[in-house]
Amino acid sequence: MILIQIIMILIFLLAIIFDLIQKDYLLHMAQLSNYRYYEYFNWLKKKENVKKLIKRLVYLFIFFIINAILIVISKRGFINDSLIKIKSLSLIILSKKLEVNPIFLLLFVFILIFDFILFLFSKEKRKKQKKPLVYTKRAIRLKILYTLIYLLFLIVSLIIFNDKINDYFNFYSKKSGSINYDFVNLINFVQTTIFLFSFSFMIYLIYSFNYFIMLISQFLIQPLEEKINRKFYNLAKEKIDELKNKNLIIIGITGSYGKTSTKFYIKQILEKKFKVLASRSSFNTPMGLSKTINDELDDSFNIFISEMGARYKNDIEELVNLAKPDIGILTAIGPVHIETFKSIENIVEEKWKIIKNSKVGFLNIDNDYIFQKLISENDNSNIKIIDDATFNKINLDNLLKTDFTYVFTIGTRKERQPCFLIDSILLNNEKNTFEIIISNKKRYKFETKLLGKHSIENLAISIGLGFLFGMEYDEIYNAVNQILPVEHRLQVLKPNDMLTILDDAFNSNPDSAKAAIDVLRSFTDKKKIIITPGFIELGKIQYHKNYEFGRLISESVDFAIFVGKTNKDALIEGFKSVNNNDKYYFADNLDLASSYLPNLIDGKTVVLFENDLPDNYEN
């Protein structure tokens, strides 16, 4: 019996070891799903994950069939209790000398090898991580709970089967004679096999459903996390109230895209005259913003720039209640996260909350959704659109003390009469020049290293804020001229004289991708290549938007490399729809796509990396 118990413990340890080998893969997926169990469940339902679960179920079914056959054989009298005499081996295990029959020993070794291979084949094949797992306190708490639940299932199974050993083998020893390892009793041999296979089945079943153990863990820990989050949220809220009483001005930025870049541009301009803190990277959730406020913001700062992201209804409301922005900026609206918002109308209403809850608003009215929303608010007596932005007459402090929302508009379309009209845009692949005409009166010329029309639109918002805060034209001009692209947002890299790389790999969308293609087209003297996986989180319109993108690519580049299975069909069909274009490759992942480049680079070449799917999407 001791040897059987040892084999059970080894099988138990296999389940623990192979879960550890995954290097917290499921925890990483939970983190990428924002620790929301319903987002994690949506990830779990993806085609590639369903295939993995089906594969594990097939292995479980094989287990079941083998055991069922053995049970039938033992019950139906297909074998008898005849004895085969084979000399036992002496083994010393845990300071005890055991006599073990070689045939039983071979059985134990076979079952261990069988289980090992099964676990090995079920192991996740990890891809290179683009955004590594960060072991925050929240991640560690979730990991501890997951580990405890996983171990609990394993330990309970071990205890149950251990308790059954004596009864199980006593029953069969009474039925077929005492177990004597000097002899091989065929019935005992089969029953030992059934017992160990049943235990292996149970342990592998628990391992196979570790996806769901992580789901359960997220669900169970949510009330605790909400309590912890609320504590930090309230502390941040109190700090904001305290600092606003000390004249801190808060700028809130939202939009379907362009948030992080605009935040960076505003900071680069305003910090020439003021002490400015901006929320870090893409820290645009309530907890990310709370962390920045609690850890970094103090009364030495004049201005705090808070980026505000949204994936669900009421996300912006929660953020504006926290940060209480004085100035609200809406960069653009598009069908981003439409899977969670359900409709573009819901996105518009949610994003507009930043304007409703601010004293001053800046809007990019080149965006049709924003322009139409502004028109619909014409009857709203609380919205005051600024037509004459004579900044030596406009006092920001006075605007912030009123009960109205004063809106400044920015855009390139003269017919929409923006307060800040972007004019005389000259785009090339080295730098852009443009002019800002304020209220059809004063004209200011600017030069920037940033590429793309959408970058100029975001810059115009930042320039407008510079004027509103009382900065001189020369100060703003010099700041704009020094601004470099944000990492992975149309960032220009030149590894050598023959190759130019446009790195636009951060969270692409149809509008910004079109702008990136326009930049790519401007390299008229170079061979043009694009590497892209297309767009995600566009709901029912995702196929159509990627098909259109494929067509645009086909009309604009010399060669394309499409990455990953997520949008493969839509991109390739759209690409081939233009004159049956076949100048493309497909690659399963970005590393493979990049490996194709040396053979494609012929003379001076520019390569656009447009978007890169996160780790919880199939590549």
Question: Which range scores top for mean pLDDT: 51-55, 56-60, 115-119, 244-248?
Answer: 244-248
Best CA proximity match to 461, nearest among 273, 264, 180: 264
State the average pLDDT over residues 139-164: 93
Dist. CA 205–CA 124, nearest whole Å: 16
Going by pLDDT thresholds of 50, 70 and 90, the confidence category of residue 378 is confident
> Residue 444 phi/psi, 5° resolution?
-125, 130
Would the pLDDT of 262 be above 60? yes
Best CA proximity match to 437, nearest among 422, 416, 452: 422
What pLDDT is stored for residue 614 in this prediction?
57
pLDDT above 90 covers a percentage of the chain that reads: 50
Going by pLDDT thresholds of 50, 70 and 90, the confidence category of residue 528 is very high
What pLDDT is stored for residue 184 in this prediction?
53
Neighbours of 239 (CB within 10 A): 17
Best CA proximity match to 287, nearest among 304, 309, 265: 309
Q: Which amino acid is at 15?
A: A
What pLDDT is stored for residue 605 in this prediction?
93
Dist. CA 148–CA 144, nearest whole Å: 6
State the average pLDDT over residues 14-37: 90
> In this structure, what token pair is assigned to residue 305?
């720039």
Going by pLDDT thresholds of 50, 70 and 90, the confidence category of residue 405 is very high
What pLDDT is stored for residue 45 in this prediction?
87
Residues 6+ apart with CB under 8 A from 65: none
Best CA proximity match to 563, nearest among 582, 535, 598: 535
- Domains in the chain, please, with CATH? 2-222 (no CATH), 246-482 (3.40.1190.10), 491-610 (3.90.190.20)
The CA distances from residue 130 to 503, 607, 613, in Å, are 15, 20, 9
Query: Rounded to the nearest 10 degrees, how much is the dihedral formed by the CA atoms of 19, 20, 24, 25?
Result: -50
State the average pLDDT over residues 166-187: 53
Give the model confidence (pLDDT) of 572-586 as tens digits: 999 999 988 899 999
Question: Which range scores top for mean pLDDT: 115-124, 342-351, 384-393, 504-513?
Answer: 342-351
Would the pLDDT of 506 be above 80? no
Question: What is the b/e burial string over 153-185, where b = at least 16 CB atoms within 10 angstroms of the residue's CB?
Answer: bbeebbeebeeebeebbeebeeebeebebeebb
Would the pLDDT of 71 be above 90? no
What is the DSSP secondary structure assignment for residue 95, as one 8-state letter?
A: T
H or E element at residue 39: helix 37-44
State the average pLDDT over residues 201-212: 92
State the average pLDDT over residues 97-121: 80
Q: Which of 66-70, 326-330, 404-408 has the lowest mean pLDDT?
A: 66-70
Would the pLDDT of 118 be above 80? yes
Q: Longest C-alpha distance within the chain, in Å?
A: 108
407 has which bridge partners?
361, 385
Q: What is the DSSP pairing of strand 559-563 with strand 527-532?
A: parallel
Give the model confidence (pLDDT) of 420-431 as tens digits: 999 998 877 677
Question: Which range scores top for mean pLDDT: 6-20, 186-200, 497-511?
Answer: 6-20
Are the CB atoms for 111 and 197 separated by under 8 Å?
yes
pLDDT above 70 covers a percentage of the chain that reads: 89
What is the DSSP secondary structure assignment for residue 333, as one 8-state letter?
A: -
| Three-state secondary structure string covering 372-390 | HHHHHCCCCCCEEECCCCC
What pLDDT is stored for residue 127 in this prediction?
63
What pLDDT is stored for residue 451 in this prediction?
85
State the average pLDDT over residues 290-303: 95
Best CA proximity match to 606, nearest among 516, 499, 487: 499
> In this structure, what token pair is assigned to residue 480?
């704009």
Would the pLDDT of 130 be above 80? no
What pLDDT is stored for residue 498 in this prediction?
87
What pLDDT is stored for residue 403 in this prediction?
86
Would the pLDDT of 52 be above 90? no
Dist. CA 448–CA 87, nearest whole Å: 88
State the average pLDDT over residues 498-513: 84
Kindly report the average pLDDT of the chain as a whole number.
86
Would the pLDDT of 445 be above 90? yes
Q: Which of 2-6, 298-302, 356-360, 595-599 has the lowest mean pLDDT?
A: 2-6
What pLDDT is stored for residue 252 in this prediction?
96
What pLDDT is stored for residue 10 in this prediction?
92
What pLDDT is stored for residue 536 in this prediction?
83
Would the pLDDT of 122 be above 90? no
Dist. CA 598–CA 602, nearest whole Å: 9
Question: Which range scores top for mean pLDDT: 39-48, 129-138, 250-259, 481-490?
Answer: 250-259
Going by pLDDT thresholds of 50, 70 and 90, the confidence category of residue 251 is very high
The CA distances from residue 356 to 12, 224, 373, 473, in Å, are 58, 32, 12, 30
Q: Output 612 or 618, whichever has higher pLDDT.
A: 612
